[in-house]
Structure 1
Amino acid sequence: MDDYLECLDIARQELKLAQAALRRDMAEYPTPIAGCDEQFNHLLDQIERVRSALAALDAPHFVPTPRKLTTGKGIESR
């Protein structure tokens, strides 16, 4: 279990480093920014992907478990 938690911590740290680098790139991006600026839109996309990944690591997930443990009797989850 410790290895798993350590891996999650490393993933969070790496994503936070990526987030900081993307924010730095956004802050240094030249103005004016046109609505069709492909590089700027790519940065926005990458920022959202990193944000979503961090949120996914911290989100609780429901994992249904079988209520009836007899093989072939079906699975009931409430």
Structure 2
Amino acid sequence: MNDYSECLDIARQELKLAQAALRLDMANYPTPIAGCDEQFNHLLDQSQRVCNALAALEAPNFVPTPRKLETGQGIESR
């Protein structure tokens, strides 16, 4: 296994732990929840950030391959 692959696996595990902790905090949050409840809104924000980070780790990235057709020409990527 490559070093970076192991790091990415650890990042996924840690983000999933954070996601579970946030879900538990949100589930145990006292009701009623007002629309201006800063603490709950902060939990929602953190939950979305963790979700976005997990999605970013799973999303394939397009990396263009530069090609020089002839010496002196520009780089073409498709």
Task: Identify whether the pair has TM-score above 0.5, normalized to the shorter chain.
Answer: yes
Where does residue 26 of structure 1 map in the other structure? 26
Q: CA deviation at 1:71?
A: 6.6
Instruction: Kindly report the root-mean-square deviation, in angstroms, between the aligned alpha carbons of the 2 structures.
Output: 1.6
Q: Structure 2: where are the runs of 5+ without partners?
A: none
Higher strand content, 1 or 2: 2
3-state DSSP class of the match of 2:76? coil
| TM-score relative to the length of structure 1 | 0.92
Counterparts of 2:12 and 2:18, CA distance in 1:
10
**Counterparts in 2 of 1:43 and 1:2: CA distance versus 1, 3 Å:** same
Q: Deviations over 1:39-65 (max 9, x none)?
A: 010000000000000000000000111
Unaligned runs of 5+ in 1: none
Provide the rounded CA distance (Å) in 1 between the counterparts of 2:29 and 2:72.
60
Quote the residue 1:57 is aligned against. Answer: 57
Q: TM-score, normalised by structure 2?
A: 0.92
Runs of 4+ aligned structure 1 residues displaced above 4 Å come to 69-72
